[in-house]
Amino acid sequence: MANVLVVAEHLDGKLRKVTLPTITFASQAAALTGGEVHVLVLGNGVDAVAGEVAKYGVSKVHYANSPVFENYLAETYAPAVVKAAQAIGATVVAAPSSTTGKDLLPRVAARLDAGMVSDAIAVFDDGGIKFRRPLWAGNVLTTVEVVTPVKVVSVRTTDFEAPAEGDAASVEAFDAGVAASETAEFVSFDQVKSERPELTDAAVVVAGGRGLKSGENFQMIMDLADTLGGAVGASRAAVDSGYAPNDWQIGQTGKVVAPDLYFAVAISGAIQHLAGMKGSKTIVAINKDADAPIFQVADFGLVGDAFEIVPALTEKLKSIV
């Protein structure tokens, strides 16, 4: 059977939302391969996560609880994914193009003697199964084919909708039979706790650039984001200058976001930044430089001083939203 295996992601005992668009990708791929969508959940105490993911129109969920999977390590997860893929006869293995997916899947691909597609934005049949993916910071789209029987794909989750909930699929324990790694150890995960929505899930993103001149000045970006219930992002220049933490970075080398509304404040719009936000539905640019490239992609642009515009905009929006 030419099934599709999705590797689920979870955090703090809950399914990570990036798994859902990955299931949509998998359903589209399964329609082409004529197989079923199976989901693999690895962890320690992931019964609830398995139950949660079972509601999203998949055929079967396999879960493995083991102290070995307590914390994510490519060295222990990769052999488990390989075993599951072989057990269910998967010809496509997919995961979100998150940092975990990017770390894990190439290792899985090598072990399955499979070609891998990174950041797939579409899957379709064109004389065989084909994928579309961006390169050169999103300035080029390519159509690629994987010539190996098994295809491994990381999915750019901003390009697929989440599936609707439906009848729960069957959930089965899976014996991965993986021993602890002797060459790799998890030490710690320092989570950035935030009241704000996760950057890649948020409907509104407000991002600041180097033009803000200091970390303190990011406060007005946060105020605008909080007024709209949005997430806060930053350009690479702002992160490099130490104004914003690295996990706020949007762009080719950071996160890819596609919210309904994106505010680029004091961001010039370098190619590498545009790669991370060009898919946003509505883009607003606020910049004092009328020639800034960001205005070429913005639906609405306001030329002026961000230090005056943003607080005034936030005040006016408070009475509206």
Partner 1 sequence: MKILTTVKRVTDPDMKVKIKPDQTGVVTDGVEYKMNSFDEYGVEEAIKLKEAHGGEIVVVSVGPSAATKEIRTAMAMGADRGILVETDEDLDSDAVARVLAEVIRRESPDIVVMGKQAVDSDRNQTGQILASYLDYPQATFAYSLEVADGWATVGREVDGGTATKRVKLPAIITADLRLNEPRYASLPGIMKAKRKPLETLTPSDLGVDTANKVNVLLFEAPEEREAGEIVEDIDTLIDRLKNKAKVL
Residues within window 53-72 making contact with partner 1, judged by CB under 8 A? none
CA within 13 Å, CB half, 265: 29
CB under 8 Å to 127, separation ≥6 — which residues?
A: none
Q: Which of 125, 136, 172, 318 binds partner 1 (CB under 8 A)?
A: 136
* DSSP 8-state class, residue 306: H
Query: If binding is defined by CB under 8 A, does position 124 make contact with partner 1?
Result: no
Q: Minimum CB separation from partner 1 for residue 297, in Å? A: 5
Q: Which of 31, 173, 179, 184 binds partner 1 (CB under 8 A)?
A: 184
Which of 86, 99, 170, 214 is close enough to bind partner 1 by CB under 8 A? 99
Count CB neighbours of 9 within 10 A.
24
**Comparison of 62 and 133: residue with beta carbon closer to partner 1:** 133
Q: Is 312 exposed, middle or buried (0-12, 13-18, 19+ CB in 10 A)?
A: exposed
Task: Note whether 303 binds partner 1 by CB under 8 A.
Answer: yes
Q: How far is the CB of 173 from partner 1 (least distance, A)?
A: 27
User: Binding partner 1 by CB under 8 A: which of 28, 219, 241, 272?
Assistant: 272
Angle between helices 74-88 and 99-111 (to 10 degrees): 60
249 annotated ligand binder: yes
In this structure, what token pair is assigned to residue 201? 């899930």
CB of 39 to partner 1, least distance (A): 19
Q: Do 154 and 117 meet the contact criterion of CB atoms below 8 Å apart?
A: yes
291 binds partner 1 per the rule CB under 8 A:
no
| CB of residue 293 to partner 1, shortest distance in Å | 10
Give the interface size with partner 1 as a residue count (CB under 8 A).
Answer: 89
Tell me which residue of 250, 269, 267, 265 sits closest to 312, measured CA to CA. Answer: 265
x/- letters, 73..92, toward partner 1 (CB under 8 A): xxx--x--------------
Q: Does 170 bind partner 1 (CB under 8 A)?
A: no
Neighbour tally for 175: CB within 10 Å = 11
Longest Cα–Cα distance of the chain, Å, equals 61
Binding residue for partner 1 (CB under 8 A) from 164, 183, 216, 291?
183
Residues 239-268 that bind partner 1 (CB under 8 A): 239-240, 246-247, 252-253, 255, 260-261
302 belongs to the binding site for partner 1 (CB under 8 A): yes
288 interacts with partner 1 by CB under 8 A = no
C-alpha separations of 65 from 68, 86, 96, 100, 193 in Å:
8, 19, 21, 18, 26
- The two tokens of residue 261 are 């509304």
**Sheet of 3-7, strands arranged across:** 115-120, 151-155, 90-96, 3-7, 37-43, 60-65, 170-173
Q: Which residues line the annotated binding site for FAD?
A: 210, 235-236, 249-253, 287
Q: Which residues line the annotated binding site?
A: 210, 235-236, 249-253, 287
